[in-house]
Amino acid sequence: MPFFGDSGELYSILGGFLRAQTGTEVTRQIGKTGMCIQFKYHEPEALITLVSTGEDMEEYEGDVSHRPDVQFEMKADVAHRFWLGKVNLPVALARQQIVARGPVQKALKLLPIIQPLYGKYQAYLREMGREDLVNV
């Protein structure tokens, strides 16, 4: 059974989590990269775009006018497990669980920056009362 019942739930959880990180040291570091990163999800369908502002990052949901530097396409369940710290990105790319378009090497340099978010995602889920999504 999928972790997210529909697109609205996915946006509420993953989008809400990413929005809640705005202004943190992690998003300021992402913001300085100048990158636009897009996540295209399936089962359920959703589109989340992270746009660097030079000083921080902004999160957008659905279609946007920003052209992504890198796009990662995957099932929503893979994304959920990634933010829990349970998916190794290079391995997922090799197995095509995640399909990347654009300069992937540049995006892979973000991995050390975003690692602190794994624990924050778990805490966010607990705060939302979604313990059911933590232990997967």
Does the pLDDT at position 1 exceed 80?
Answer: no
Predicted confidence band of residue 81 (pLDDT cuts 50, 70, 90): very high
Does the pLDDT at position 127 exceed 90?
Answer: yes
The predicted structure's pLDDT at residue 91:
93
CATH top-level class of 7-127 = alpha beta
The whole model's pTM is what?
0.92
Give the start-to-end residue ranges of the domains of the chain.
Answer: 7-127
HEC assignment per residue over the chain = CCCCCCHHHHHHHHHHHHHHCCCCHHHHHHHCCCCEEEEEEECCCEEEEEEECCCCEEEEECCCCCCCCEEEEEEHHHHHHHHCCCCCHHHHHHCCCEEEECCHHHHHCCHHHHCHHHHHHHHHHHHCCCHHHCCC
